[in-house]
Chain A
Amino acid sequence: DTGVSQDPRHKITKRGQNVTFRCDPISEHNRLYWYRQTLGQGPEFLTYFQNEAQLEKSRLLSDRFSAERPKGSFSTLEIQRTEQGDSAMYLCASSLLPGQGSYGYTFGSGTRLTVV
């Protein structure tokens, strides 16, 4: 198992363009999470899935953001009409369900988005 993989590692886009990020979680993990992290801050929760169901969304997740996990495996996060304020590191994490073992979330290395 290679852990949580995120692609791309870096993305530079012009304001107003759409971007999509991909996350491949640890294969046996049921839960998948998206976080956003700006410089000098801790990660902020965006949304999470249990299998293919999106169970929770943060108020940070505006209408321009959409996440999917169609088959309960990989997930995508799309940002439409990007704004400069969207520049951040987007982190994906996965975990087992509570009680299934170590519940600690495993994070990927993130996708660094820069909107110019």
Chain B
Amino acid sequence: GESVGLHLPTLSVQEGDNSIINCAYSNSASDYFIWYKQESGKGPQFIIDIRSNMDKRQGQRVTVLLNKTVKHLSLQIAATQPGDSAVYFCAENKNYGGSQGNLIFGKGTKLSVKP
């Protein structure tokens, strides 16, 4: 069925290295994507979003890349810090601007940062 998924369930990186978290989506009609960070016992925290009319968007230490041709989304975290350790979810919306408001989440990638 239509779903958002992730290539890797876990990712371990050394402090200071760059991290890349990947996401594959299957619904070509999705036009809005968000990356969330979720720490244990907390709700998802918005990191960065991107609309389908863009290929790249940068925030503070984070970059989201969208490849609509292969339906692939990635989150790059520069100079990963121990505080970045969390589960990261990508989410898609199939009708940005329309009446359909729900996000569809993938299962998440657990990022572990080694000091």
Q: Chain A: residues with CB nearer than 8 A to chain B?
A: 4, 31, 33, 40-45, 48, 50, 55-56, 58, 91, 93, 95, 98-99, 102-110
Contacts and interface: CB of A to CB of B under 8 A. Distances in A.
A98 B32 CA distance: 11
B89 A103 contact: no
A91 B101 contact: no
Interface in B47-70: 49
Contacts of B97: 98-99
A26 to B, nearest CB: 12
Contacts, number: 64
Interface of B: 4, 32, 34, 36, 41-46, 49, 89, 91, 96-108
Contacts of B4: 42
A102 B49 contact: yes
B108 to A, nearest CB: 6
Given A102-B49, A104-B49, A42 B89 contact: yes
A53 B96 CA distance: 18
A55 B101 contact: yes
Given A45-B104, A50-B101, A105 B43 contact: no
Given A42-B107, A103-B96, A56 B46 contact: no
Contacts of A40: 107-108
Nearest to A41: B107
A58 B102 CA distance: 9
Contacts of B105: 42-44
A55 B102 CA distance: 10
Given A45-B102, A45-B103, A98-B96, A108 B46 contact: no
A43 B101 contact: no
8 contacts: A33-B102, A45-B104, A55-B99, A56-B99, A98-B96, A98-B98, A99-B97, A106-B46
A48 B46 contact: no
Contacts of B99: 55-56
A4 B44 CA distance: 12
Nearest to A44: B105
B49 to A, nearest CB: 5
